[in-house]
Amino acid sequence: MTAKITILQDNITTLGVDAIVNAANNSLLGGGGVDGAIHKAAGSGLLQECKTLGGCETGDAKITAGYELPAKHVIHTVGPIWRGGNQNEAALLKSCYERVLSIADDNHIRSIAFPAISCGVYGYPKDQACNIAVSTVAELISHYPNLRKVIFCAFDEQMYEHFLDALQAIQMH
């Protein structure tokens, strides 16, 4: 089920989809990387709403409005910090994608864009993270017929290539 999956190299804050996903931290109160870019582009209303959410566990997700973003919603998820691979990192990263898709479905979202969760300051090996991202979405997408389009949005060319490799790997099976 990869027909609905697209890989892009872009700034996720510019995408006019129903929801963009934020790679946040447990506080949900903003940070650097894609989190900082999303808060900056969305404006202060996003932080005000995030303050009401009581943070978020690693591997879980919470939804807000998109405020000044072209996207209608932001689904904030907290990826694992890479600590060598024996601290449940793979299951926690998979859980991020599962929780985001479930919340997206609950909110009638038809198009969604993910950044490379945990692949920046959280240090997850990019090839492994992309394999989890793409295979988890490909596995679950048939459960969510209302979801028409899933974008993996890479910020740079190297990340784009990793997503492409992961997609090609599952298409060969």
User: What residues are labeled active site?
Assistant: 35
The whole-angstrom separation of Cα 109 and Cα 66 is: 13
The whole-angstrom separation of Cα 24 and Cα 5 is: 23
Token pair listed for 120: 């920046």
Residue in 22, 19, 42, 59 with CA at minimum distance from that of residue 150 = 19
User: Min. distance of Cβ 108 from ligand AR6 in angstroms?
Assistant: 24
The CB-side HSE value for 1 (13 A sphere, CA atoms) comes to: 15
Return the bridge partners of 112, or none. 19, 150
Residue 75 vs 116, nearer CB to ligand AR6: 116
Name the DSSP letter for residue 28: -
Residue 156 vs 172, nearer CB to ligand AR6: 156
Footprint (CB under 6 A) of ligand AR6, residues 13-32: 13, 23-25, 31-32
Name the DSSP letter for residue 59: T
Among 7, 18, 21, 33, binds ligand AR6 (CB under 6 A): 33
Footprint (CB under 6 A) of ligand AR6, residues 105-124: 115-122
Kindly determine how many residues on this chain lie close enough to bind ligand AR6 according to the rule CB under 6 A. 25
Footprint (CB under 6 A) of ligand AR6, residues 126-155: 153, 155
User: Min. distance of Cβ 9 from ligand AR6 in angstroms?
Assistant: 9
80 binds ligand AR6 (CB under 6 A): no
The whole-angstrom separation of Cα 18 and Cα 16 is: 7
Q: Can you give the binding site for ligand AR6, defined by CB under 6 A?
A: 11-13, 23-25, 31-35, 37, 79, 115-122, 153, 155-156, 159
